[in-house]
Amino acid sequence: MATPPQPQPQHGGPYDPYTAPVPPRSGPSGPGYAGPQPYGAYGAHPEPGRYGCRLCGAWPAAHATVRGHQGMIVLMRFLSLRGPFCRDCGLATYRRMSSDTLWQGWWGPLSLFITPVTLLMNLGPRAAFRKLAPPAGGHRPALDPGRPLWRRPPVLLLLVPLLLLVLAIPVLILIGAVVGDDAPRPLTSGQCVRNTGDWQLVVADCGSASAEYRVRRPSPATGGPCGPGDFLAHPEYSADGTLNCLTPLR
């Protein structure tokens, strides 16, 4: 007995995958619409085939080397961390290594000169990091840069000596101007003096063994010459500018 032919499905039915009506997709205001998805912190890399930050994978990143130094009296350590770094990770690395260098780098004779050079070398990477756009497309969060270097406690180890050096010069000049050398007191005829060095005269008792010279005024009648073997005192030991004669006592 022959099998009757099976009816063929007609296109256009409700289950036809080619002609079944497709429900309209919800628009921007419809339910379930999330909108266009930008690159997030953990999305696809914005520039495939390019290397991102070595710490978080974000882009853009700059190739730079941040350096540090540790002085240990006799020994020393040279530290470095090579990029690429994104903006946030680079600034965080720069600030951390420079801050550590500010308090770890001075403890050695050669380290006193190496530490300032290391800090200056880090200014180049810092400028490169600051020019970068905010990081995007990383596989983990970028590092927090934290407070700027000049607002961290170790910077006081650099600022305090510099401040003291700057203030020391005017302070020394002021002290010298206020105190100065003691002006010598004018001598009078008949006094005895002794020489304390470089003809700094000090009044002494004429009967003591320390007295070396007797002061006398030159004679106006003879034009004011001193006797043979006498010495002349400096003008500052005279009240009126007339040179006093110093006659040796022995």
Q: Are residues 78 and 155 located together in one domain of the fold?
A: yes
Q: Are residues 142 and 206 located together in one domain of the fold?
A: no
Q: Are residues 72 and 124 located together in one domain of the fold?
A: yes
Q: Would you say residue 187 lies in a domain?
A: no
Q: Are residues 84 and 134 located together in one domain of the fold?
A: yes
pLDDT at residue 53, rounded to an integer: 95
Q: Would you say residue 169 lies in a domain?
A: no
Q: What residues make up the domain containing 202?
A: 192-248
10-46 pLDDT, tens digit each: 544 444 443 444 444 444 444 444 444 444 444 445 5
Q: Would you say residue 154 lies in a domain?
A: yes
Q: Are residues 149 and 73 located together in one domain of the fold?
A: yes
* Report field, pTM of the whole predicted structure over 0.85: no
Our count of domains for the chain comes to: 2
Q: Would you say residue 243 lies in a domain?
A: yes
184-200 pLDDT, tens digit each: 788 888 889 988 877 88
Q: Are residues 135 and 214 located together in one domain of the fold?
A: no
pLDDT at residue 39, rounded to an integer: 41
140-189 pLDDT, tens digit each: 999 999 999 888 888 877 777 677 778 888 888 887 766 655 667 888 88
Peptide bond into 60 cis (omega under 30): yes
Using the predicted structure, report yes or no on whether residue 67 has a pLDDT greater than 90. Answer: yes
Q: Would you say residue 216 lies in a domain?
A: yes
